[in-house]
Amino acid sequence: LAGIFYGIGIGPGDPDLITLKAVKILEKIDILAIPESKKEKGSVAYQIAKPFLKKNIETITLVFPMIIDEQKKEIIRKENAEKIKLEIDKGKNVAFLTLGDPMIYSTYIYLLENLKSNNILIQTIPGITTFSAISAKLGIPIVKGDEKFGVISSFDKETEKILELFDCLVFMKISAYKNELIKILKKINRKFYLVSNVGKENEKIISDIGEFENEETTYFSTMILFKGRD
Ligand SMILES: C[S@@+](CC[C@H](N)C(=O)[O-])C[C@H]1O[C@@H](n2cnc3c(N)ncnc32)[C@H](O)[C@@H]1O
C-alpha cells in the first residue's frame, strides 16, 4: 500500500498556533523531507513540529539551490519530487513542513505540482499565515466591508499602480526590494507596519519610515500597508 504525501502548515512561528490536524498528522508520519538549507534541523518549522514527531524520525534532504536558471530549477524540483515518490511507493508517509500556510509562497508548492500527476495521495494541511498573525497582533483588520486586499512578494513597475487599487497590501520577502519600497512609502505617505518575527521572542514592529530605512530588514519581515486606516 502506498503512503501519503503531506504538506503541513506549521503556522506563523508561535508554537501554540499549530492546528490540531497538523499535530495529529505529525504524530503518524514516517519521514520528514527537509530542504537542505534547513538540514541542521534548526529551522523554525522543524522546532515547532519536533515535540509531535516520532523519536528518531527518518529524514530525506531536498536541495533547492538559489539559482536563476528556470530550466535547471525545474529539473531539480522534479528530482526532489522523485525522491519523495520513491518513499511513498514503499508505503511511507512523508511530510514537508511550511511556515504559515503551505499554499502561500512556499517551496511545498513545487513539490505538490510535480507530484500531482503521479497518482500519489496528497494532503495539504492549511496553516495560519503570517499576515493573519500580524493583523491579529496589531489589532487591525486586513479588510472589512467592500475593501480589497492583495499580497505581493516582489517589486516591479506595476507595483506603484496597484497601490491605488487595494485598501490593504501585504508585502512579503521584502529584504529583496526594500529600497524600492522605501522610495514609494516616502512618496505616498501612507500608514504602514513592518513586522519582523511575529509571535517570536524577537518580534519587532516598525511604522516609522526613518527607522525602516536604518534597520537591517531580515527575511522574516512582512509589511502591511493600509489606505485610509489609522
Ligand atoms: C516563503 S514566504 C512564506 C509565507 C508563508 N507560507 C505564510 O503563509 O505566511 C516567506 C515570507 O513570509 C514572511 N514571514 C514568515 N515568517 C514570518 C514572521 N515570523 N514574521 C514576519 N513575517 C514572516 C516574510 O515576509 C518572509 O519573507
pLDDT of residue 39: 55
227 pocket-lining for ligand 1 (C-beta < 6 Å): no
| Long-range contacts of 58-61, Cβ-Cβ distance < 8 Å, separation of 24 or more | 58/30, 58/31, 58/32, 58/92, 59/31, 59/32, 59/33, 59/34, 60/31, 60/32, 60/33, 60/34, 60/84, 60/87, 60/94, 61/33, 61/34, 61/35, 61/36
The one-letter amino acid at 131: F
Residue 42's pLDDT band (cuts 50, 70, 90): low
pLDDT of residue 63: 84
| pLDDT of the residue at 40 | 55
Q: What is the mean pLDDT of residues 23-31?
A: 97
Q: Model confidence over 53-62: pLDDT tens digits?
A: 999 899 998 8
Residue 159's pLDDT is: 87
> Does the C-beta of 135 come closer than 6 Å to ligand 1?
no
Distance of alpha carbon 177 from its chain centroid, rounded? Answer: 17
pLDDT bin (cut points 50, 70, 90) of residue 49 is: very high
Q: What tens digit of pLDDT does each residue of 165-205 get?
A: 999 999 999 988 999 999 999 998 899 999 999 988 899 99
CB of residue 126 inside a 6 A radius of ligand 1? no
Q: Write out pLDDT tens, residues 83-132.
A: 999 999 999 999 999 999 999 999 999 999 999 988 899 999 999 999 99
Cα 209 to ligand 1 centroid, rounded to whole Å: 21
DSSP element (H, E) containing 86? helix 70-89
Question: What is the pTM (predicted TM-score) of this model?
Answer: 0.93
At residue 66's C-alpha, the angle toward residues 9 and 110, to 5°, is 40
pLDDT band for position 38 (cuts 50, 70, 90):
low
69 vs 205: CA distance, rounded Å: 36
Check if the beta carbon of residue 48 is closer than 8 Å to that of residue 95: no
Reported confidence tier of residue 64, pLDDT bands at 50, 70, 90? confident
Task: Give percent of the chain with pLDDT exceeding 70.
Answer: 97
Radius of gyration of the chain (CA): 19
pLDDT at position 3 is 95
pLDDT for 25 beyond 90: yes
pLDDT of residue 230: 59
* Paired residues of 7 in beta bridges: 96, 124
Rounded-to-integer distance, Cα 212 and Cα 151, Å: 20
Per-residue pLDDT tens over the stretch 65-82: 888 888 998 999 999 999
pLDDT value for 51: 96
193 C-alpha to center of ligand 1: Å? 15
- Integer Cα distance of 63 and 37 in angstroms: 8
Which whole-number Å values give the CA distances from 228 to 13, 137, 168, in the listed order? Answer: 29, 19, 9
Contact 132 CB / ligand 1 (< 6 Å): no
Q: Would you call 88 helix, strand, or coil by DSSP? A: helix
Joined together, the cell numbers standing for residue 157 give 513597475
Q: Is the pLDDT of residue 41 over 70?
A: no
Tell me how far apart the alpha carbons of residues 104 and 214 are, in angstroms, rounded to a whole number: 29
